Structure 1
Amino acid sequence: MADLSLDVLVAALAGPSRRGRQEAAHEVALAAEEDPSALVPFAEQLMDGLQRPEAQTRWELLNALSLVAGVDADLVEGAMDDAEAALFDEGSSMVRLAGFRFIAREGKSAPERSAEAWALLDEAVQCYHGDPEFREMLAALLEFAQGNISDDVKRAVHDRVAFDAEKSSMPFIKSYSEQIVEACEA
């Protein structure tokens, strides 16, 4: 599928084949890594793809939409409800992580978006603390803390991770938490 145009790949996201949708979503995510702006014309179809039942299609598209949010957060704001549902998906840690990344990327784009995003991220940080995907969630939370977030949200993020920055016995949690605290104090 790597040689197919974005038009063909995006059309395959709505196709009848589970495997075809997964493969198309994977190629779309790779294309987003190369040039997220190339996916801007397809934002609606990518968001529609979040309604597919298979986890891989959803996580690949959420990862692609996270990158598109870095180009035009307004364009993909409509994916927030699906990202919230993904954040609490009980069947797939990859879907949860992709939802977290999207919400962090969307939320860091403007102070007025950061409070809504933080409410979801805060809940997820508490729910998934120590889970296998938590390291990557902390990386996304660091990016969020370094973004264009409100002062109130910066204080709340700081307060949430301050204990781990001081006391965590897990080196990666301590290190990321220290970086997040520094970003919130900057």
Structure 2
Amino acid sequence: MAEYNETVLNLAKSCVSDHETLKKIAEALSSGTRRSRQQAAQVLSAVSISDASAIAPFNQILIDALNRPEAQTRWECLDALTRLCDVDASLCSDAIDGAENALFDEESGPLHLAAMRFLCKFGAVSEQNSERVWPLVDEGIQCWHGDLEFQDMLNSLVEFSTGHLSDSVKSELAERMLFDSKNGRGALKRKATTIVENLS
């Protein structure tokens, strides 16, 4: 869970019931300085923690912001979109390309993690969604296996494994995690085993 300073949290709290202020903050994602975009993304992400439905009218702005150059703006927007999936995943459908670019951006670990969380959350909603994101999730597992963020990625994969996955995705995910479930150590082995068991 992201941690925000008191200023961001207070602004986010007020925005939940103040649509006009929230709209102005969302619009800052498409203009202004790098710093203002990052701050706007932080507030929107914090709002999504309290009430993800409040950011639903700004889904396309959040998706468009996945093309901004700075990593923090992108990962904050991905976190917000991940929570929006619990409200209506169809609002996040256009975010797949941005999430793919974020997943394989070699400069930022937090960005990889946010992208994997989003893809797993979106993919768990339906069999069709699972098949759409699986090639990216599978490649991400192979690409970032052993990285610092991989243990947290596994938490998203555990959740993904309990979702509405197609039979082919279930089979391929189980096969992908089988080696770690048998030969891994510690948390890696435990989480991989949990995934395989969820899919059996």
Give the structure-1-normalised TM-score: 0.95
Cα shift at 1:12: 1.5
Identity of aligned residues (%): 42
Deviations 1:88-144 (A, max 9, x none): 001111111111111111111110111221111111111111100001111111111
Give matches, 1:17-56, under 5 Å: 17-56=33-72
- Of 57-66 and 109-118, more deviation after overlay is shown by 109-118
Aligned pair 1:182/2:197, yes or no? Answer: yes
Which of residues 112, 116, 120 is equivalent to 1:96? 112
Give matches, 1:65-144, under 5 Å: 65-144=81-160
Distance 2:161 2:93 in 1: 19
RMSD: 1.2
1:161 counterpart letter in structure 2: M
Unaligned stretches of 5+ residues in structure 2: 1-7, 16-20
Distance 2:77 2:141 in 1: 22
1:47 counterpart letter in structure 2: I
Give the structure-2-normalised TM-score: 0.88
Distance 2:182 2:106 in 1: 31
Cα shift at 1:16: 1.4
Deviations 1:37-81 (A, max 9, x none): 111111011111111111100000011101111211111100000
Q: How many residues align?
A: 184
Runs of 4+ in structure 1 deviating by more than 6 angstroms, as ranges, are: none
Cα shift at 1:178: 1.1
1:177 counterpart letter in structure 2: A
Unaligned stretches of 5+ residues in structure 1: none
Cα shift at 1:35: 1.2
